[in-house]
Amino acid sequence: MMEQDQLGRETRIIAVGNQKGGVAKTTNTVHLATALGEMGRRCLIWDLDMNHGATLHFGIPSEGFLGTFEVLIGEEQPEDVIITNDDEDVELPEHVHILAARRNLEKIDQALVAKNKFLITQDVLLKPLQSLRGQYDYIFLDTAPNATTPTIAAYKAAELFILSAMPDPFAIAGLNDALADIQDAQRHGNPHIRLLGVILSGVDKRTRLANTLNEYVEQIFAPDGRRSAKFKTTISRSTAVPQAQKLGKTLFQTHPTHAVTEQYRVLAREVETRLLGLTGNQTNLGLYDTKAVR
Ligand SMILES: Nc1ncnc2c1ncn2[C@@H]1O[C@H](COP(=O)(O)OP(=O)(O)OP(=O)(O)O)[C@@H](O)[C@H]1O
Ligand SMILES: [Mg+2]
């Protein structure tokens, strides 16, 4: 599964998701990639959401660049539309590239059918991702909060899945739905997808909601006495996060030494430690088999 580049490095394709809206999927994708970039890892963020939160988070103008839509309908090669710091008026974090989305992504289904009635739309990411293998250490797929074609395609194409959750009264129900989605992906076309972990964000340790969610994820996700799927590093709630987002910047630019920025640095190291378990024998490495959860 994992192909290596000439230096023997693997490209990890990680979908970040939860079909519940507003649970920090995009915030986590953007900041985790930025933290890994700071460590010298080559990261690509692929924005698969018509609301293009990741694109906007990097201050990239909404309609400024071709991107996901054009790649999915086969009009552009991913390499030709990926945005880097060489592009004008773009200020991306070091080692982070982005494949941007625009509003036209809402019309992707009609566009795909118009091109080829027999196309299996859930497979549209497979070929473009294959062509990007070896060029990055990480490819993060930032998914939409609903079962759009690009989101389903991400479940089909990813090897690893990071679940995002934020404390709110429906967080646990949302998490269970999200796990069911990963299991469905495993059963129907992507048997290799594994849950890498759950990131709890927007956590205010003083609140009961945060504690309830924390305990739930700790326990339910640790079947057979294995360690919890929850990343030990949780991301605190802070107004610095929406502030940075509104400016179209990452916290690494606006608040380089903020507690949350530091948490993302620690989280990035935790992700890499967890991934180390993947090399060699890939079948039974303490990664979380979602089958064990239900
Ligand atoms: N640690 C945090 N502290 C405070 N606010 C946060 C934190 N993380 C994310 N947020 C805020 O929560 C909101 C939702 O975050 P984000 O857009 O990343 O979620 P999402 O899951 O990608 O949403 P969508 O489902 O719409 O794509 C944003 O306004 C973001 O600024
Ligand atoms: Mg988002």
Report pTM: 0.93
Domain boundaries, the chain: 9-293
Q: How far is the CA of 172 from the centre of ligand 1 (A)?
A: 17
Residue 197 has pLDDT above 80, yes or no: yes
CA–CA separation, 91 and 93 (whole Å): 7
What pLDDT sits at residue 159?
A: 95
Render pLDDT for 220-270 as a digit per residue (tens, 0 to 9).
665 556 678 899 999 999 999 999 999 999 999 999 999 999 999 999 999
* Residues found in the chain: 294
Q: How far is CA 103 from CA 6, 51, 52, 62, 173, in A?
A: 37, 6, 7, 8, 29
The answer to whether residues 110 and 17 touch, using CB atoms and an 8 Å cutoff, is no
Nearest atom (ligand 1) to Cα of 203 = 1
Alpha-helical (H) ranges within 13-107 are 25-38, 53-57, 68-72, 78-81
Which of the two residues, 91 and 291, has the higher pLDDT score?
91
The protein residue with its alpha carbon nearest to ligand 1, atom 9, reads 24
What pLDDT sits at residue 276?
A: 87
Residues contacting ligand 1 via CB (< 6 Å): 21-27, 49, 53, 145, 164, 201-202, 235, 237-238, 241-242, 245, 260
Render pLDDT for 111-168 as a digit per residue (tens, 0 to 9).
999 999 999 999 999 999 999 999 999 999 999 999 999 999 999 999 999 999 999 9
Per CATH, the homologous superfamily of domain 9-293 is P-loop containing nucleotide triphosphate hydrolases (3.40.50.300)
Q: How far is the CA of 25 from the centre of ligand 1 (A)?
A: 7
Strand ranges inside the chain, DSSP E? 12-17, 43-47, 96-99, 138-142, 160-165, 194-200
